[in-house]
Amino acid sequence: MSGAGIKEPILELRDIVFGYKLRRGENIRIFDGLSLDVKYAEFVGIAGPSGCGKSTLIRIMAGLIKPEKGEVLFRGKPLKKPTPRIGIMFQNPALFPWYTVLENIMLALIHEKDLSEKDKIERARVFLDMVGLTAFESAYPAELSGGMKARVALARALVSQPDLLLMDEPFSNLDQLTAISLRREVESLWLNQSMPPSSVVMVSHDIEELVELSDRIIVLTKRPAKIAGIIEVDLDRPRQRRSPEFYKYVDEVYTLLS
């Protein structure tokens, strides 16, 4: 599926300009000509001081927000609006409370006109199984724990078999243990060649989490955000948080942030 050349970019941001207008008429520049690439089969982490526009950046990558100027290229073509080829997982799981777990996942197959209802159920079940929630397919979101909701959100982001998975602080609302196991799952899914996604972009304020998962960490500056530095993390997976090498990378990110 993602068989294109390994070092080819799957997503390119070219000279992105974006700002908000305050009520008083003041303009706040978030990005003033930001460019970056995400390559095939790559796990990219994005770090930056709070308020620098990390969440806005991920929304621009998803096609949810249109930049004022600049281009977003997805697989070489301009990205005009959200596509099922890009999955996104928000900080808040945002499941629809009136649908069951399975129905919530099936919602992401809304555009698959070729699939029959039965196929959709089957496909949704595969991904539900993948996140380990098979027994909960007819439960409603209100009956789930925070970690389970995050798993459902992950399954929903992946069920359309996207090439790119975007994650906006996906583990920040979870307790430590749940976050650890979910991080492992995301990593093994990404490493699994036969399963989507090919590439992952994750925004996080947890530096250790970024070093644990990313091939490359892009560190942004304060507003208007520019790239403060890019760190290639060259450690074997699964990475050990206790090792001195690991901390060398963590310190490197902190240095760039401050």
Residues within the interface to other proteins (CB under 8 A): 62, 64, 81-84, 88, 90, 92, 94, 96-99, 107-108, 110-111, 140-142
Residue 40 or 90 having the CB closest to other proteins: 90
CB atoms within 10 A of CB 97: 8
Residue 226 corresponds to which amino acid? K
To the nearest whole angstrom, how small is the minimum distance from the Cβ of residue 170 to other proteins? 13
Residue 91 or 204 having the CB closest to other proteins: 91
To the nearest whole angstrom, how small is the minimum distance from the Cβ of residue 204 to other proteins? 18
Residue 79 or 233 having the CB closest to other proteins: 79
To the nearest whole angstrom, how small is the minimum distance from the Cβ of residue 209 to other proteins? 21
To the nearest whole angstrom, how small is the minimum distance from the Cβ of residue 106 to other proteins? 11
Measure the CA–CA gap between 197 and 164, rounded to whole angstroms: 5
Tokens for 82? 């959200």
Instruction: Give the phi and the psi of residue 244 in degrees, each rounded to 5.
Output: -65, -35
Burial of residue 148, with CB atoms counted within 10 A of its CB: 0-12 exposed, 13-18 middle, 19 or more buried: buried
Residue 75 pairs with which residues in a beta bridge? none
CA dihedral 255, 249, 59, 15 (to 10 degrees): 60
Residue 113 or 242 having the CB closest to other proteins: 113
Residue 103 or 252 having the CB closest to other proteins: 103
To the nearest whole angstrom, how small is the minimum distance from the Cβ of residue 61 to other proteins? 11
Q: Give yes or no for a contact between 73 and 110, defined as CB atoms under 8 angstroms apart.
A: no
